[in-house]
Structure 1
Amino acid sequence: MQSFKLVEGDLVLELGEIVMAEGTDELVQCVKSSLGTNKGEWFLQPELGIKFRAFLEKNLNEEEMREQIRQGLFQEPRIKTVDSIKFEHDKPNRIMTVRFSATAVDGTTIESEVTQHVG
C-alpha cells in the first residue's frame, strides 16, 4: 500500500515532488495517525482515533491508557496483534511517550512510539 508521506502532519516534498510512504513505513504512519487523532475530532470518520481524555486526567489510569492505545492500533485492519505497550512518563514536562510493538497480518513486526501531553 502507498500513502503520502507525512512528517508531523505535513506532506513531505523532495525537489518539488510529493514523497510516498510504502511498506512498513506506511503502516506505521497509518497507525500513528489513529493514535494522534482524538476520537470524534474528524467529522468524516468520527470513530477514528483514541480518547485523549484518558491521558489528560489528573490521576492517570495506565490500564485505561493501554486500552485506548490498543483500540487505536486495532483501527488499522492490517494489525493482527498488539505485542507490547510501554509508557514512559516525564512528569515535570507532562509528556507521556508510548512505545508499542504490533504484528501485522502479513507477519511484519512494527515498533514505534508516540508522544502525548498528559494531565
Structure 2
Amino acid sequence: MKSPKLQDRDLVIENNDLVMIDDDEELIQSVKNTLLTRKGEGFLGSEDGTSYDNLLGKGTSQEEARDDIIEALSKDERVGSVTNITFIDDPVSRTRKISLTIQKQDETELTIDEVELNA
C-alpha cells in the first residue's frame, strides 16, 4: 500500500511533490496514526483509532490499555499480532509514551519506538 508521508501529522512535500511511502515505513506510520487517533474521532467519527479510556488518566490499568491497543491494531489486516508493549510514564510531565513490537502477517517483526500519547 502507498500513502502520503506524514511528519508531525502533516503532509511532507519536497520539491513541490507529495512524498509517498510504502511497505514497512507505511505500516509503521499507519500504526502510529491508529494509536494517536482517539476512537470515534477519526474521519467522519468512524470507529477507527484507539480507546483512550484506559491509556491516560488516574487509575489506568496497563493490562486494559494493552487490550485496547491490541484491539485497535488488530483492525489492520497487515498486523498479525502485537508481541510486546512497553509503557514509558513520566510523572513529572504527566505524559505516557509507548513502544511496541508487532508481528506482520508474514511473521517478520517491526518495532515502533516511543509514540507519545496526548491527553
TM-score computed with the length of structure 1 as normaliser: 0.90
Q: Which moved more, 1:38-47 or 1:14-23?
A: 38-47
Give 2:19's aligned residue: 19
Give 1:104's aligned residue: 104
Q: Structure 1 runs of 4+ off > 3 angstroms? A: none
Give 2:49's aligned residue: 49
Shift of 1:88: 0.9
Give 1:68's aligned residue: 68
In the alignment, the residues of structure 1 paired with residue 35 and residue 47 of structure 2 have an alpha-carbon distance, to the nearest angstrom, of: 12
In the alignment, the residues of structure 1 paired with residue 18 and residue 65 of structure 2 have an alpha-carbon distance, to the nearest angstrom, of: 35
- Equivalenced residue count is 118
> Does the 8 Å CA contact 1:3/1:26 hold for their aligned counterparts?
yes
Does 1:34 find its partner at 2:34? Answer: yes
SS at match of 1:76: coil
Letter in 1 for 2:63: E
Letter in 2 for 1:39: K
> Does the 8 Å CA contact 1:79/1:104 hold for their aligned counterparts?
yes
Task: Flag the structure with more relative contact order, 1 or 2, with Cα contacts below 8 A and sequence separation at least 6.
Answer: 1
CA RMSD of aligned residues (A): 1.5
Q: Which moved more, 1:69-78 or 1:109-118?
A: 109-118
> Does the 8 Å CA contact 2:40/2:48 hold for their aligned counterparts?
yes
* Structure 2 stretches lacking a partner, 5+ long: none
Letter in 1 for 2:118: H
* Structure 1 stretches lacking a partner, 5+ long: none
